[in-house]
Amino acid sequence: MRGVASAAIVAALLSPASSLAAKGDHDPTPKRAWSFDGPLGHFDLASVQRGYAVYAQVCSNCHGMEHVHFGDLRGMGLNDHQAEAVAESHTVPDGVEGKTRPATLDDAFPTPPVAQGLTPGAVIPPDQSRLALVYPGGPDRIYALLTGYGPPPAGVTEAKDTFYNRFALGRTIAMPPPLHDGSVVYADGTQATLDQEARDVTTFLAWVAQPHLDERRRVGVRVTLYLLFLGCLLFILKRRVWSNVH
């Protein structure tokens, strides 16, 4: 059930013709504070690792990450041995005869059957590799949808097989809540509340979409400091040169 719910979470909202958009209205997405916001922001790698646990235990049943390789997990703080252990827990195709083999660090995350269109009648869920970049509203919207479930207001009747979600188009959605308290088990002992799970998996998806963002920002800061230093040096040099003229 978790896999089906996860599969529907984005596909339903990205489709303009979705039955969820019967009315087309929803609550505005609240702006949240993320550690990776702003030019000096950075990813909380502990949260990224917990978010991977949510992806692995819930979302990966239906969503693939075809642009992410197992070796990329080293960027979220795993060492080679840990990344290899994650890779070896997955199987990937080996040749064209239906054979499989344990994945290596050079392999991309395997795409589950439903995302390959191999499940009759199922909506093909989107790949999550760049979801936080292409999804309207980005991380704020993803988090809002994951936590927006609840009982409908007085006088509002839910259609059959739908669930009230104040951030979904039309305020109703055809999938059950994908996350709840205790949906996953965190290796670091963090309490797996709904809010924590949603925040962590959103952080993970933001990191997956831009795994080198922290590095680019560090380079940007160094370049900025260098240019400031160079500017000050040139200013001092100019003052000294022109002081002789006057």
Residue 89 counted as domain residue: no
Q: Is the pLDDT of residue 239 over 90?
A: no
Residue 91 counted as domain residue: no
- Which range (50-59, 137-146, 217-226, 235-244) has the least confidence? 235-244
Residue 73 counted as domain residue: no
Give dist(CA 60, CA 85) in Å, integer: 17
Residue 135 counted as domain residue: yes
Q: Tell whether 235 and 185 lie within a shared domain.
A: no
The torsion defined by the Cα of 202, 174, 125 and 22, in degrees rounded to 10, comes to -100
pTM of structure: 0.79
Q: Tell whether 114 and 234 lie within a shared domain.
A: no
Q: Tell whether 113 and 9 lie within a shared domain.
A: yes
Q: Tell whether 58 and 120 lie within a shared domain.
A: yes
Q: For residue 13, what are the CA distances in angstroms to 10, 24, 54, 224? A: 5, 11, 21, 40
Q: Which residues of 176-204 are buried (b: 16+ CB within 10 A; e: fewer)?
A: ebbbeeebbebeeebebebebbbbbbbbb
Q: How confident is the model at residue 246 (pLDDT cuts 50, 70, 90)?
A: low
Residue 78 counted as domain residue: no
Q: Tell whether 122 and 45 lie within a shared domain.
A: yes
Answer whether 20's CB lies under 8 Å from 170's CB. Answer: yes
Answer whether 156's CB lies under 8 Å from 168's CB. Answer: no
Residue 7 counted as domain residue: yes
Query: Residue 168: how many CB atoms within 10 A of its CB?
Result: 25
Q: Return the pLDDT at 181.
A: 95
Q: Tell whether 131 and 233 lie within a shared domain.
A: no
Q: Tell whether 243 and 123 lie within a shared domain.
A: no
The predicted model gives 4-12 an average pLDDT of: 49
Q: Return the pLDDT at 75.
A: 94
Q: Return the pLDDT at 14.
A: 46
Q: Tell whether 238 and 206 lie within a shared domain.
A: no
Q: Tell whether 48 and 134 lie within a shared domain.
A: yes
Tokens of 16: 């303009």
pLDDT digits (tens, 9 = 90+) for 156-166: 877 777 889 99
Q: Return the pLDDT at 192.
A: 96
| CB-count exposure of residue 57 (10 Å: 0-12, 13-18, 19+) | middle
Residue 58 counted as domain residue: yes
Boundaries of domain holding 21: 2-68+108-211
Indicate the SS3 state at residue 34: coil
Q: How confident is the model at residue 122 (pLDDT cuts 50, 70, 90)?
A: low
Q: Tell whether 113 and 164 lie within a shared domain.
A: yes
The predicted model gives 105-112 an average pLDDT of: 91
Q: Return the pLDDT at 145.
A: 92
Residue 103 counted as domain residue: no
Instruction: Report how many domains make up the chain.
Output: 2
Which secondary structure element, helix H or strand E, spans residue 244, and what is its range?
Answer: helix 213-245
Give the CATH number of the domain where residue 139 resides: 1.10.760.10
| CB-count exposure of residue 98 (10 Å: 0-12, 13-18, 19+) | exposed
pLDDT digits (tens, 9 = 90+) for 34-84: 999 988 899 999 999 999 999 999 988 888 898 999 999 999 999 999 999
Answer whether 9's CB lies under 8 Å from 167's CB. Answer: no
Q: Tell whether 27 and 133 lie within a shared domain.
A: yes
Q: Tell whether 205 and 238 lie within a shared domain.
A: no
Length of the chain: 246
Q: Return the pLDDT at 126.
A: 78
